[in-house]
Copies of this chain bind each other. A is one copy, B any other.
Amino acid sequence: MVTSNILQSNNKNMKHFDSDYMEGCHPQVMQRLMETNLEQTTGYGSDKYCAEAKRLIAKAVGTDDVDIHFLIGGTQTNSTVIDALLMRHEGVLAAETAHINVHESGAIESCGHKVLTLPSHDGKVCAKELKSYIDNFYADETYEHMVAPGMLYISFPTEYGTLYSKDELTQLHDICTKADIPLYIDGARLGYGLASDECDITLSDLPDLCDIFYIGGTKVGALFGESVVAKKGLLKHFFPLIKQHGALMAKGRLLGVQFSTLFADDLYLKISRHAIELAMLLKKGFVDKGYKLYLDSPTNQQFFVLPNDVMDRLSKTSSFEVWGTRGESETTVRFVTSWATKKCDVEELIAEL
């Protein structure tokens, strides 16, 4: 059984900054699940709640020229989408640090596809290196003995909390478009990206900046659920593929109920904003005390390099993740906030610094 890489004590008043999926769902979402619980609907997403959620999401992304699908979790969504987009001789380009390359137990390869890695720059890929990869591939006269770059995967925010600027996304998308391969954005934490002060795009920009993306629910207010938004017609025969991947929910309306709640009254962005405010407060707290940033993240994941004695002391009252392995004298750690993080917990943590 896996045990999480987390420093914990038995203190009942422990403050948790381990991850953004420690609670259930936002109370308004739970309320809707309660209210609709005994209603009867048809299955597999053919119900009115899914229809309503799709309508609200189409409105939020600013276009009807998209197909919207609901899946259950992130790895499942990545593996199903990538399997749907790639031909058998193609692989998916991604940063070396990409979730699909590192932390999905080989889900992409188990479907027969190679992950083709690009260098990671704080979790991001660089347009120049992407172009160079594709150009060099086709310049090699033996390219048919190699796996063709068939799509680009990026995460927004990345696994390191960093964001692409609108300009960077535009460059990546242009390269992909010229190479006739789709750009796919893993938005497991999309809300926490969009709510960041450093983010210069909105949700309605995304359909122009990529070919397909997903709006993460699991980490942003839902019990579970990810909403795939694709250029109309891009995903062929996606329904049976969802089923084949074991990603089809019998009671599909659970996803509809959750996403229709999150996308009514802008709830998704509001609760994301809360997480960002607390993340910035937390970062300022560490920086003000003179602790080093591992990198300067504008989103809900914050990385610090702490002296080991400080880390050990903090771990008595807070849980967080050791990033990699414990160093000789100092160690990189990750603190995560979410829609559910309490301000008093962040303040207490800072006070304890």
Interface on A for B, CB 8 Å cutoff? 1-6, 16, 18-19, 21-25, 27, 30, 33-34, 36-46, 72-77, 79-80, 83-84, 87-89, 91, 102-107, 109-115, 136, 139-148, 218-219, 223-224, 236-237, 239-241, 243-251, 254, 324-325, 340
Q: Is the CB of B18 within 8 A of A38?
A: no
A16 to B43: give the CA distance in the assembly, Å: 12
Give chain B residues whose Cβ lies under 8 Å from the Cβ of A104: 145, 243-244
Q: Is the CB of A236 within 8 A of B87?
A: yes
Q: Is the CB of A246 within 8 A of B75?
A: yes
Q: Is the CB of A38 within 8 A of B21?
A: no
Tell which of A27, A79, A88, A249 has the most Cβ of chain B within 10 Å.
Answer: A88
Q: Which of B43, B75, B143, B244 contacts A106 (CB 8 A)?
A: B244
Closest to A76 in B: B246
Known contacts A43-B21, A75-B246, A112-B109: A2-B38 contact under CB 8 Å: no
A112 to B6: give the CA distance in the assembly, Å: 31
Q: Is the CB of B244 within 8 A of A110?
A: yes
Copies in the complex: 4
A192 to B243: give the CA distance in the assembly, Å: 24
A24 to B3: give the CA distance in the assembly, Å: 31
Q: Is the CB of B112 within 8 A of A5?
A: no
Closest to A39 in B: B23
A1 to B50: give the CA distance in the assembly, Å: 12
Q: Is the CB of B46 within 8 A of A1?
A: yes
Q: List 17 A-B contacts (CB under 8 A).
A: A2-B143, A4-B44, A6-B42, A21-B250, A21-B251, A23-B38, A27-B37, A27-B38, A79-B246, A88-B110, A88-B237, A106-B113, A109-B113, A147-B240, A148-B237, A218-B251, A223-B254
Q: Is the CB of A325 within 8 A of B243?
A: no
Known contacts A46-B2, A236-B87, A240-B89: A114-B103 contact under CB 8 Å: no
Q: Is the CB of B112 within 8 A of A110?
A: yes
A219 to B249: give the CA distance in the assembly, Å: 12
Known contacts A244-B107, A245-B246: A141-B224 contact under CB 8 Å: no
